[in-house]
Chains A and B, each alone.
Chain A
Amino acid sequence: DAGVIQSPRHEVTEMGQEVTLRCKPISGHNSLFWYRQTMMRGLELLIYFNNNVPIDDSGMPEDRFSAKMPNASFSTLKIQPSEPRDSAVYFCASSSDSYEQYFGPGTRLTVT
């Protein structure tokens, strides 16, 4: 079975541009998570969905960040406008009712 798929793997953009990160969870998993990893703040949850419905978005930094899950096999995380402090590795993870979360390879975002 394929694991969690994220695209792009690397993104370099200029400040002020819109960035869209994509995630395809493992087939059959009903929970999807977006995490961000930085040196300063470590690994932190941004938002998570259960059965395509957002459950907890308290970690979303500000209105510049938005996430959607239009169906069980696809989710996006959008940053508009991007800022240099958004530079980080963004991970998507999915889980079934077993509670283990399986992570994608991450998207390394650099905002210049």
Chain B
Amino acid sequence: AQKVTQAQTEISVVEKEDVTLDCVYETRDTTYYLFWYKQPPSGELVFLIRRNSFDEQNEISGRYSWNFQKSTSSFNFTITASQVVDSAVYFCALSEAGYGGATNKLIFGTGTLLAVQP
């Protein structure tokens, strides 16, 4: 069965600190996709990144970086030099390859609330 676990319910940091959000997933498929979404206080869900199961290369985008390790079934997200605007709920999600190559549903973790204090 598919499952995404975000063990950290809430994290509070002071501005400019680095913070890592953990994500552990379970799937029996060999082809799958992992995602991170951001939900700011305004409520919308903002796509941040997608990784394919066959590409374990880590990725950096500005202050954001992602560490994908198949050996530990983890896809962790690090924010460097956090800012108040980073305050949001962050969701990790898993999707298996869909029917006929179509996009399949997302299985979401329970989210981590990040509060960045000034």
A residues at B contact (CB < 8 Å) = 30-31, 33, 35, 42-45, 48, 50-51, 55-56, 59, 89, 91, 93, 95-106, 108
A105–B42 CA distance with the chains assembled, in angstroms: 9
The listed residue (B101, B106, B110, B111) touching A101 by CB distance below 8 A is B106
Is B91 touching A95 in the complex (CB atoms < 8 A)? no
Contact residues on B (Cβ < 8 Å of other chain), bracket: 20 to 34
Is B45 touching A91 in the complex (CB atoms < 8 A)? yes
Q: Is B25 an interface residue (CB 8 A)?
A: no
Q: Is B105 an interface residue (CB 8 A)?
A: yes
CB-based A-B contact count at 8 angstroms:
63
Is A102 touching B111 in the complex (CB atoms < 8 A)? no
Chain A facing B: main interface SS: strand
Is A48 touching B105 in the complex (CB atoms < 8 A)? yes
Besides A101-B103, A106-B45, 18 other A-B contacts (C-beta < 8 A) = A33-B105, A35-B106, A42-B108, A42-B109, A42-B111, A43-B111, A48-B105, A50-B99, A50-B103, A55-B102, A96-B103, A97-B101, A97-B102, A99-B33, A100-B35, A102-B47, A103-B47, A108-B43
